[in-house]
């Protein structure tokens, strides 16, 4: 393809679109199921409980330290299935491309999407591309639906949570939020921090069937504070987090201090928050700490009788209410 | 909700987003499967061959005579499943909302989406919302994945097509393209034409198991000419279309004459192109003509030995090659 940038004609259903799909999307995403000539395709071999999720991706910049829009899209969808106890199997991919996007950038993002999909057993079964005019898009937006099969034998969910249950996190929080913010260079800051964008499938799989596991969620845009609020609201219980035990990297802490951010309100894209019974929590922690992506895992709090509040026990022993997030400090974070 | 327009904070995962989802998305789309608190949900009752499709929607204006972005999104996804011989069952919905969009508009579009979904047996199982800054979006973009179950006992596909097969269309072509164009008022034209945006599920269901049916496709962005090209390219055969038999409304013809458009290159959103054996074609035509949306159905051409060309036999008896679409006369048509 000789054009260097996306034209409106790449979205019109004709020759340019056919070539774009063949040379970028089909080339990277090819698998036994994908058929770019079909209106709908058959998904073979699905048995048992079928699970579905969807997410849209608008992160800016499109490429950032530790990931990009393509790999992030796969990780988030894989993670949504993984924390729900499901093995990822198939995905659909809808791309909304802004006129003027460089082919090379699109090629890198879709190659990255394809690599992450392969690594996580996800086959892209169907896709769609649209092109919108300059200043009607953000370079590239992706929407992905993920289809999986339930593999967890424990029915996970917030309804299982009881007073006395333990809150765990699989690693440091806030890396994605700060890495993307630094990549924007809007504050004149820079650093070596990388996004934690990654598949949590190995971490989730390792504990799917461990006794005492009650609920998992990936604290993405929801952040740690929001996941805690979701639990508090659904159960009527309080979530107590211990500041001293919540893992936060030094670089994230520094940026938060400079700009007045709170690490509990920063996005993570490769972490799990889990709730487990007191008996089960220790084994989950040990399992995670034995895995490459779980070295930084920690018990960070407790669920207690209360009034649907999220309370932070500070390092000085005080208590601070963590309110539900309102204003958005960082739009287009995922 | 007191705000009149979408703010960036409506996309941040916090309180505003929770309220937006509850008051617009969950309220309209509520069904037994949808769980806005879950990362992934279980799809009950899927058996047999599971089929999937996806489409992105960027039509502008968001509302046009005969439909809107919401109903169009459902129709296209339902139609992609229907022409592949599948009953629609579940959908996922990813919404990318531009800062500043009026709540009332969003509410109308999602209500319309919900109504069309109910009418077509489609339950929204999972959703996601993102908000992008002003001038990084188009008001609202939707991406939908549709999951269905194969109901056709005939294996439909272009591989079935042979010389002598008959080309049918279920109604007039080009209505959607011209209706959307008139709604933009960019040429100072107006008219009473309505988009054909509709579910073709009743038309598809009626012929799924009729002997002689070989292939169906909805000529959306692909337009009639592009569907014919896809067939010609896949089979190595020629597709001959008879101008006198291709149904085109007078108003569409007039606008095409004024602006130099060709109706074979205009989008349809409620039509089926079918290929059938000569024996089967007549019964399919009669079946369609007996249905409310098929009154305008017509046999429009033949598949013949040739060189992968699409040929129009004009009303004067001449022959004109219909080239593959290149430039885009109308971006953001769907």
Q: What is the pLDDT of residues A260-279, one digit of tens each?
A: 889 999 999 999 999 999 99
> Which residues lie below 8 Å from residue B104, measured CB to CB, with a gap of 6+?
B4
Q: Which chain B residues touch A222 with a CB distance below 8 Å?
A: 13
The overall average pLDDT reported for chain B is 94
Q: Cβ of A54 and B141 within 8 Å?
A: no
Give the bridge partners for B42, in sequence order: A51
Question: Which pLDDT score, from 0 to 100, does residue A317 have?
Answer: 92
- Tell me the nearest-neighbour CA distance from B47 into chain A, angstroms: 9
Q: With cut-offs at 50, 70 and 90, classify the pLDDT of residue B327.
A: confident
> Per-residue pLDDT for B236 more than 80?
yes
More confident residue, A326 or A257: A257
Q: Does A302 score more than 90 pLDDT? A: yes
Q: Which residues in chain A touch residue B12, judged by CB atoms under 8 angstroms apart?
A: 221, 325, 327-328, 331
pLDDT at B104: 97
CB contact under 8 A, A145 and B53: no
Beta-carbon count within 10 A of B23 CB: 13
Domain boundaries of chain B, sorted by first residue: 8-150, 158-321
The answer to whether the Cβ–Cβ distance between B52 and A90 falls below 8 Å is yes
With both helix axes pointing from N to C terminus, report the angle between A175-184 and A250-259 in degrees, rounded to the nearest 10: 60
Long-range Cβ pairs for the range A23-30 (8 Å, 24+): A24/A103, A24/A106, A24/A107, A24/A110, A25/A93, A25/A95, A25/A110, A25/A127, A25/A129, A28/A107, A28/A110, A28/A111, A28/A113, A28/A114, A29/A93, A29/A110, A29/A113, A29/A114, A29/A117, A29/A124, A29/A127
- The predicted pLDDT at position A1 comes to 46
Task: Give how far B21 is from chain A: nearest CA, Å.
Answer: 14
State the fold for domain B158-321: Phosphoribosyl-aminoimidazole Synthetase; Chain A, domain 2 (3.90.650)
CA–CA distance from A177 to each of A161, B11, B229 (Å)? Answer: 28, 15, 47
Alpha-carbon torsion A262, B1, B38, A40, what sign? negative
Question: In chain A, what percentage of residues exceed pLDDT 70?
Answer: 98
Question: Is the confidence at residue A2, as pLDDT, over 50?
Answer: no
Taking CB atoms and an 8 Å cutoff, what residues of chain B touch A19? Answer: none
The predicted structure's pLDDT at residue A3: 54
Does the beta-carbon distance from B326 to A15 stay under 8 Å? yes
Select the residue from A130, A135, A176, A266 to test the B interface by mutation, using most B Cβ atoms within 10 A.
Answer: A130
- Res. B57: pLDDT tops 60: yes
| pLDDT reported for residue B1 | 46
Cis peptide before B61 (omega within 30 of 0): yes
**CA–CA min distance B287, chain A (Å):** 23
Nearest by CB to residue B52, choosing from A125, A150, A217, is A125
Nearest to A87 by CA among A35, A52, A124, A58: A52
Number of A:B CB contacts under 8 A?
Answer: 245
Minimum CA–CA partner of A140 in chain B: B136
First CA to last CA across chain B, in angstroms? 30
Query: Contacts of residue B93 in chain A, CB cutoff 8 Å?
Result: 54
Q: How long a stretch of residues is chain B?
A: 334
Strands A319-321 and A298-304: unpaired
Chain B residues whose CB is inside 8 A of the A50 CB are 42-43, 46, 50
Nearest to B233 by CA among A15, A40, A16: A15
Region A8-150: CATH code: 3.30.1330.10
Q: What is the pLDDT of residues A29-47, one digit of tens each?
A: 999 999 988 999 999 999 9
Chain B residues near residue A21 by CB distance under 8 angstroms: none
For residue B51, list chain A residues with Cβ-Cβ distance below 8 A.
Answer: 40-43
What is the C-alpha to C-alpha distance for residues B263 and B261, in angstroms, rounded to an integer?
Answer: 6
Best CA proximity match to A191, nearest among A245, A253, A105: A253
How much is the pLDDT for B3?
Answer: 54
Residue of B nearest to A19 (CA): B326
Other beta carbons within 10 angstroms of residue B254's beta carbon come to: 14
pLDDT of B329 reads 64
CB atoms within 10 A of CB B319: 10
Burial class (CB in 10 A: 0-12, 13-18, 19+), A161: buried
Structure confidence at residue B179 as a pLDDT band (50, 70, 90): very high
C-alpha distance from B244 to closest chain A C-alpha (Å): 24
CB contact under 8 A, A86 and B40: yes
Please give the mean pLDDT across all residues of chain A.
Answer: 94
Q: Check if B8-150 and B158-321 are the same fold.
A: no
* A128-181 per-position pLDDT tens digit: 999 999 999 999 999 999 999 999 988 899 999 999 999 999 999 999 999 999
Distance CA A81, CA B186 (A): 45
Q: What is the pLDDT of residue A187?
A: 75
Alpha-carbon gap, residue B303 to B274, rounded angstroms: 12
B326 pLDDT band (50/70/90 cuts)? confident
């Amino acid at each position: 393809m000789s054009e260097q940038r996306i034209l409106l004609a790449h979205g019109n259903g004709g020759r340019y679109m056919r070539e774009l799909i063949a040379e970028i999307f089909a080339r990277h995403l090819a698998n036994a199921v994908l058929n770019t000539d079909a209106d709908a395709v058959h998904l073979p071999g699905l048995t048992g409980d079928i699970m579905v999720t969807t997410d849209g991706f608008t992160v800016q910049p499109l490429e950032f330290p530790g990931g990009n829009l393509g790999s992030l899209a796969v990780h988030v969808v894989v993670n949504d299935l993984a924390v729900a106890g499901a093995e990822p199997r198939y995905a659909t991919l809808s791309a909304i491309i802004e006129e003027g996007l460089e082919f090379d950038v699109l090629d890198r993002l879709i190659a990255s999407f394809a690599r992450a999909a392969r690594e996580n057993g996800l086959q892209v079964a169907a896709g769609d591309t649209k092109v919108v005019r300059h200043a009607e898009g953000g370079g590239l937006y992706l929407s992905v639906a993920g289809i999986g099969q339930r593999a967890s034998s424990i029915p996970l969910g917030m309804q299982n949570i009881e007073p006395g249950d333990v809150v765990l996190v699989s690693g440091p929080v806030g890396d994605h939020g700060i890495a993307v913010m630094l990549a924007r260079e809007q504050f004149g800051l820079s650093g070596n921090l990388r996004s934690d964008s990654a598949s949590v499938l190995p971490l989730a799989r390792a504990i799917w069937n461990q006794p005492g596991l009650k609920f998992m969620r990936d604290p993405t845009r929801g952040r740690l504070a929001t996941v805690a609020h979701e639990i508090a609201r659904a159960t009527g219980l309080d979530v107590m987090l211990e500041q001293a035990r919540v893992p936060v990297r030094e670089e994230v802490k520094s940026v938060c201090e400079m700009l007045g951010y709170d690490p509990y309100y920063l996005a993570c894209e490769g972490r799990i928050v889990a709730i487990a019974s007191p008996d089960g929590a220790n084994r989950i922690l040990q399992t995670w700490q034995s895995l490459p992506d779980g070295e930084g895992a920690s018990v960070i709090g407790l669920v207690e009788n209360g009034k649907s509040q999220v309370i932070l026990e500070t390092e000085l022993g005080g208590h601070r209410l963590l309110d539900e997030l309102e204003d958005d400090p960082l739009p287009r974070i995922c």
